[in-house]
A = this chain, B = another copy of it.
């Protein structure tokens, strides 16, 4: 509980106690161990001018960034789970002993990064992959005609193996570490279009079986987030054009040598920790990879 107001360092020395309109309450009782937290320092603007505490700080970080980090920790720890409502700005401001405006700026950035979603009048919610909006952030292959929609999966293989060297390197594991290997084909309107291989850290995804994958309907990232507490928040893709080899040709029911789009994706969770490697081959005769540059 109330692990709040721990080690915040306010480098800004805001105009606090000086003008507090209500009674002359100290306003920030705070356990206040070592260094002074938010909104302390109390001093009329004249004397408070050049506090070395603020300027000399070698590791400068705005208050709202510190708040953002604290909120992110709570998201990461699962204190607030995907889809849930997080405390209101007013409550967080009270908890962290900062103004609502500072909390707001922290949440603004989290919302910009798609970690949370604001809804006027209702509150701020933890983002979840169980939502149409989130689906197409990570699924970029869309039909040339008609509306984008989610493909059906057919799993070819699910097994526990030791990570090959290249996989281990990309996922920040040691070569030989246990990983779960998944191979599947995805169908758009019954047409096999994607063949995909995934590697997941065995430690995190212990207990992931073919059955659970088959049972679960919807994007895999939704399953990962609810069943394994691991939420993918960003990914990096490398895309190339290749020729279909025998295996891909058979699974996609195409001629050997058909050009395919190859994508290698590394997905990251909180703290930029890689937690998935995905290698896909996309048939792009009736679909394309859609990308917005801005």
Closest to A264 in B: B288
Q: Mark A224-236, 1 if CB is under 8 A from B, else 0.
A: 0000000001111
Q: Mark A36-73, 1 if CB is under 8 A from B, else 0.
A: 00000000000000000000000000000000000000
Instruction: Please report which residues of chain A, range 245-259, place their CB below 8 angstroms from some CB of chain B when the two chains form the complex.
Output: 257, 259
Q: Give complex CA distance A257, B292 in Å.
A: 28
A293 at the B interface (CB under 8 A): yes
Residue of B236, B240, B262, B291 near A237 (CB, 8 A) is: B291
A2 at the B interface (CB under 8 A): no
B241 & A242 in contact (Cβ 8 Å cutoff) = yes
A260 & B241 in contact (Cβ 8 Å cutoff) = yes
Instruction: Please report which residues of chain A, range 102-135, place their CB below 8 angstroms from some CB of chain B when the two chains form the complex.
Output: 112-114
A3 at the B interface (CB under 8 A): no
Residue of B241, B261, B293 near A234 (CB, 8 A) is: B293
A294 at the B interface (CB under 8 A): yes
B241 & A293 in contact (Cβ 8 Å cutoff) = no
B288 & A238 in contact (Cβ 8 Å cutoff) = yes
B260 & A257 in contact (Cβ 8 Å cutoff) = no
**Within the complex, what minimum Cβ distance (angstroms) separates A294 from chain B?**
4
**Within the complex, what minimum Cβ distance (angstroms) separates A245 from chain B?**
12
Q: Give complex CA distance A112, B262 in Å.
A: 31
Q: Mark A118-160, 1 if CB is under 8 A from B, else 0.
A: 0000000000000000000110100000000000000000000
Chain A interface: which size bin?
20 to 34
Q: Give complex CA distance A204, B261 in Å.
A: 35
**Within the complex, what minimum Cβ distance (angstroms) separates A253 from chain B?**
17
Which chain B residues border A241 with CB–CB below 8 Å?
Answer: 241-242, 259-262, 282, 284
**Within the complex, what minimum Cβ distance (angstroms) separates A203 from chain B?**
24
Provided the pairs A114-B294, A233-B294, A294-B233 are in contact, do residues A289 and B259 lie with their beta carbons within 8 angstroms?
no
Q: Give complex CA distance A261, B263 in Å.
A: 12
Q: Which of A112, A234, A237 has the most CB of B within 10 A?
A: A237
Which chain B residues border A165 with CB–CB below 8 Å?
Answer: none
Q: Give complex CA distance A221, B5 in Å.
A: 49
Q: Give complex CA distance A238, B292 in Å.
A: 9
B238 & A137 in contact (Cβ 8 Å cutoff) = no
4 closest A-B pairs (Cβ-Cβ)? Answer: A240-B284, A241-B259, A241-B241, A239-B289
